[in-house]
Amino acid sequence: MRKVDDKTAPTDPVNQLSAIEIERIREEMSHYEDPKAASIEALKIVQKQRGWISDQNIKAIAKELEMSPDQLDGVATFYNLIYRKPVGEKVIHYCDSVSCWLLGAEQVRERISRRLGIGLTETSEDGRYTLLPIVCLGACDHAPVIMVGDELIEDVNDQKLDALFAEGEHS
């Protein structure tokens, strides 16, 4: 799991945001006439530090953006790369769009599940991986595809999965 260090620890237990997070959110807000326009970037700023967005974080970010927590939660739950529950160090998104499904996405998911001992939305025992479906990764011409962290892996097959997990065992 990600570690929050002293510089990124909440400075105000009620606010639930660190001074650095507040500074970065305010910098992002400065680019827009309406503070709400910075909502996705603000969520990303906090998630990058913490790995996910808690209810307390939603309230604190919403306060900074001058919006209701419900409005911000609507943004957070719509955007599928914002995590509202704890996740592993790396999130594996497997594409379950029609193209990927037709070309073996379900077999890819099954192989990942067996290898890590987890099902969909679960996190491996060691906290390293979480497996989540995603509607489309936009690489239909290279289906099936997965995204591990920020890395897109196209034309996924057994050899690519073996290489991925062999690398992960040494990192």
pLDDT averaged over the chain? 90
Using the predicted structure, report yes or no on whether residue 170 has a pLDDT greater than 70. Answer: no
Give the chain's radius of gyration (CA, Å). Answer: 18
Cα–Cα separations (whole angstroms), residue 10 to 35, 41, 60, 144 = 22, 19, 11, 41
CATH 3.40.30.10 intervals, the chain: 90-170
Using the predicted structure, report yes or no on whether residue 3 has a pLDDT greater than 50. Answer: no
Question: What pTM value is reported for the model?
Answer: 0.80
CATH 1.10.10.1590 intervals, the chain: 1-86
Asked: is 90-170 a CATH 3.40.630.10 domain? The reply is no
Percent of the chain with pLDDT over 70: 89
Residue 73: strand pairing partners: none
Identify the pLDDT of residue 167: 72
* Lowest pLDDT segment from 13-17, 31-35, 45-49: 13-17
Residue of 73, 84, 88, 80 lying closest to 136 (CA atoms): 80
Contacts of 113 (CB under 8 A, 6+ apart): 119, 120, 131
CB 111 within 8 A of CB 162: no
Residue type, 63: K
Return the structure tokens found at 163: 């290489």
Residue type, 12: D
Cis previous bond, 10, omega within 30: no
CATH number, domain 1-86, options 3.10.180.10, 3.90.1150.10, 1.10.10.1590, 2.40.50.140: 1.10.10.1590
Contacts of 54 (CB under 8 A, 6+ apart): 16
Cα–Cα separations (whole angstroms), residue 99 to 43, 59, 80, 131, 148 = 30, 38, 19, 19, 19
Percent of the chain with pLDDT over 90: 83
* Lowest pLDDT segment from 1-5, 81-85, 118-122: 1-5
Return the structure tokens found at 170: 């040494």
Residue of 93, 88, 58 lying closest to 74 (CA atoms): 58
